[in-house]
Chains A and B, each alone.
Chain A
Amino acid sequence: QKEVEQDPGPLSVPEGAIVSLNCTYSNSAFQYFMWYRQYSRKGPELLMYTYSSGNKEDGRFTAQVDKSSKYISLFIRDSQPSDSATYLCAMSARASNYQLIWGAGTKLIIKP
């Protein structure tokens, strides 16, 4: 079993829809939870990070962490075609020197 599980998709939704992207994990020591966006042939770009449980909102993006369920989510409101990309979750723990553990990435396609 992988430490971080993420459905690779692709996930295709119409423009304007609310998108929900998720990851599950098995290591309860994870403290930092991050979402990255990666366009084709580019390096990942940090979208949001959350420390421990809770919600964090930034514009159209909301990140949620439920440590009791070992489940994190990224919601995108009013999705745009420019949001089409691969979204990767990543996690780290102080005990492992903050080394990032990655999900496989979910390919998101927003149809105009």
Chain B
Amino acid sequence: GAVVSQHPSRVICKSGTSVKIECRSLDFQATTMFWYRQFPKQSLMLMATSNEGSKATYEQGVEKDKFLINHASLTLSTLTVTSAHPEDSSFYICSASEGAAGYTFGSGTRLTVV
């Protein structure tokens, strides 16, 4: 089946630094990838839709200058958390779709900002 690889799985960074998270579709091409944020014991919150070759579409309330998304190829999307602060600490998950119902998720990235 389809596989989405997400790295790193865990990262700790100092406040004010930037962190990049990669999401790769390993055996299929994904014109669209999605980035989610999940708080403890809560469901996934869609942050943005990443479109290959064009600007990402951000959900209401998500700062596009803070969460930079780049989808440079059909198999790679990156999320950069810029000038991270402790309130950005969360679980970030990407997903990619092969079709209408075939969503595959990465394993997630636990970001801790100290």
User: B43 touching A88 by the CB < 8 A rule?
Assistant: yes
Provide the bound-state CA to CA distance between A104 and B93, in Å: 16
A16 within 8 A of B: no
Residues on B with beta carbons closer than 8 Å to the beta carbon of A36: 105
Interface size of B by CB at 8 A reads 23
Chain B, interface SS category: strand
Interface size of A by CB at 8 A reads 25
User: B46 touching A32 by the CB < 8 A rule?
Assistant: no
Provide the bound-state CA to CA distance between A103 and B100, in Å: 18
B residues whose Cβ falls under 8 Å from a Cβ of A: 4, 6, 34, 41-44, 46, 49, 91, 93, 95, 97, 100-108, 110
A residues whose Cβ falls under 8 Å from a Cβ of B: 8, 31-32, 34, 36, 41-46, 49, 51, 88, 90, 92, 94, 98-100, 102-105, 107
